[in-house]
Structure 1
Amino acid sequence: MLFRILLATLAMALLAALSGCASLPAAQTTQLAEREIELVAQMAEGPVVVFENGLGGRMEWWSKVLPRIAEETAVFAYNRPGYGNSSPVQTPRDGQSIVDELRQLLQSQGLQPPYVLVGHSLGGLYMQLFARKYPQDVAALVLVDSTHPQQLEGAGALENQSLFVRSALKLLITGTARQELELLKRSGEQVLGLPTVTGIPVFILSAKADPSDNSEAAQFARQKRAELATLYPGARQIWVEGGHAIPIENPDAVIAAIQAALALIRERR
């Protein structure tokens, strides 16, 4: 599973580069706690849709989604510390630190809650934690092939991966991404240590991947994707054609889920 996600990460970076990022609003750099953070923010009427990247990901990966959503409401995307032009930090790269930094960043930009949180892969795990830790700040949650809080347990544990996979991870995942991966289990424990999300729209987009693949890794991935929905009673799970790189391969599915969440928010006002 980890190696498949790694391959998808590399593929997304390539696809984003080939497709071009001209459709993203112009990025800006701001100062927060004496460090630089690279971000995109576009104001409009309606709740702010906050995009969180996956492991090793940058905000350009949302280039096929964010501009469409920006036509309807306010949007915000950024590069976590250590990615792109955002300065690295010394604080632990676990979910709690990342979520608190994001909340502080949103407040510093004058972006008021409640937010619509959208997270892909590991970013989905961080958005789960944000929604559980600060439920009063969240209007809806959209998880895009999100990491399960127990993704690295059992068959998914790093020590249970083949030597080839462990060597590839060590070689290809470096710097901040490696720190995030090493603390992924802790981040998952932080999520499960808080009450689940209730009373807001929750959409879970899950990759169908290759249904003919019956390898142990593929079965484990399908199991975790299915189990994720059980953590959020009342959530709508949508199985999406293709692999892990949904924001690039099938952006319309992400756009539709966000639009559905926005429609439900409007209905409840």
Structure 2
Amino acid sequence: MKVSKRISVYISIVSLFAISCNNDDDQVLTPSNLVDVGNHKLYTETAGDGEHTLVFESGLGDNYESWFKLLGLAETHQVIAYNRAGYEPSETATNERSIIQLAADLHQVILSKSKNNQVILVGHSLGGAVVRYYTVQHPEMVEGIVFVDPSHEDFEVMTQEQEDDMVHFFKGEGLFQIANEAEQFIENFQVLDQLSTLPNVPVVVLTSIKDREGEDEERWISAHATLGDNLTNFTHITTENSGHYIQVEEPQLVIDAIGAVLE
């Protein structure tokens, strides 16, 4: 099957999942748990204790291991990482996998596992869209946000044909959990386009420009900058030292961003 340039970029990004899960860190998490979110159960890893709870939301095609280099933060904070529905050993969901449903699942994970009344959300790529929607719906639950090269509707314009090609590719590869999320991309962007601005909590946005240039770079930076609209504590950082997986290639930058939110 011939895929468009835009779809090939998404496919290339998802292929980095194998890289994100390879690590040589010796951090060990506490035993996993299954969280019942209604009609399916999600695999979670929870570690640490403290006055702050960090919740990691992964990108398309990634499980909790994409955050492995940051899980050492459990030495001083509670850390919650989990696999969305369909990412084994989480159970498969029977409902559509738009950011609305993904945020509903996230809410149940937080209610079930967080030891604190509010959490710091750290979202990568598609996960950035999920935590953005979640924060607008549940502002009382969110202490701050770190966006790691998040998806954004002002940049990622997609036709139905392009979405269909991407979904067809993932299904052909047997990656049904990814296909189920990918087939909601256009709907996700429509939801985000109508979403109100974020509540006034500390926010840091990390934007990778390593693999972007010219107008593409300018539009990516500009889209991410809009996340700071109406916020009094907003920091936008661009990096040329890491690609889309900043948390894998440049984990200290994400750790520093979390520290800035907590200041």
2:262 paired residue number: 262
Over the matched positions of the two proteins, sequence identity in percent amounts to 25
Range with greater deviation from structure 2 (95-104 or 26-35): 26-35
Q: Compute the displacement of 1:5 (Å).
A: 3.9
| 1:14 pairs with one of 11, 19, 26 | 19
1:201 aligns to 2:202 (yes or no):
yes
2:219 paired residue number: 223
| 1:139 pairs with one of 137, 143, 151 | 143
Residue type at the aligned position of 2:204: F
1:157 aligns to 2:162 (yes or no):
no
Asked whether the equivalents of residues 149 and 206 of structure 2 are also in contact (C-alpha less than 8 Å), the reply is yes
Cα RMSD (Å) of the superposition?
Answer: 2.5
2:237 paired residue number: 238
Q: Compute the displacement of 1:158 (Å).
A: 5.6
Structure 2 unaligned regions, length at least 5: 1-5
CA distance in 2, matches of 1:65, 1:141: 15
CA pair 152-28 structure 1, distance change in 2 beyond 3 A: same
Q: Compute the displacement of 1:168 (Å).
A: 5.2
Q: Give matches, 1:18-57, under 5 Å.
A: 19-20=23-24, 22-32=26-36, 33=38, 35-57=40-62
1:252 paired residue number: 252
CA distance in 2, matches of 1:158, 1:173: 21
CA pair 151-90 structure 1, distance change in 2 beyond 3 A: farther
2:3 paired residue number: none
Residue type at the aligned position of 1:74: Q
Q: Secondary structure at the match of 1:44?
A: coil
CA distance in 2, matches of 1:157, 1:242: 29
Asked whether the equivalents of residues 148 and 254 of structure 2 are also in contact (C-alpha less than 8 Å), the reply is yes
Range with greater deviation from structure 2 (130-139 or 7-16): 7-16
CA pair 255-31 structure 1, distance change in 2 beyond 3 A: closer
CA distance in 2, matches of 1:237, 1:261: 12
CA distance in 2, matches of 1:157, 1:221: 21
Residue type at the aligned position of 1:78: Y
CA distance in 1, matches of 2:218, 2:190: 21
Q: Compute the displacement of 1:198 (Å).
A: 3.2
Instruction: Considering Cα pairs closer than 8 Å and 6+ residues apart, tell me whether 1 or 2 has the greater RCO.
Output: 1
Residue type at the aligned position of 2:195: L
Q: Give matches, 1:2-151, under 5 Å.
A: 2-17=7-22, 19-20=23-24, 22-32=26-36, 33=38, 35-67=40-72, 69-151=73-155
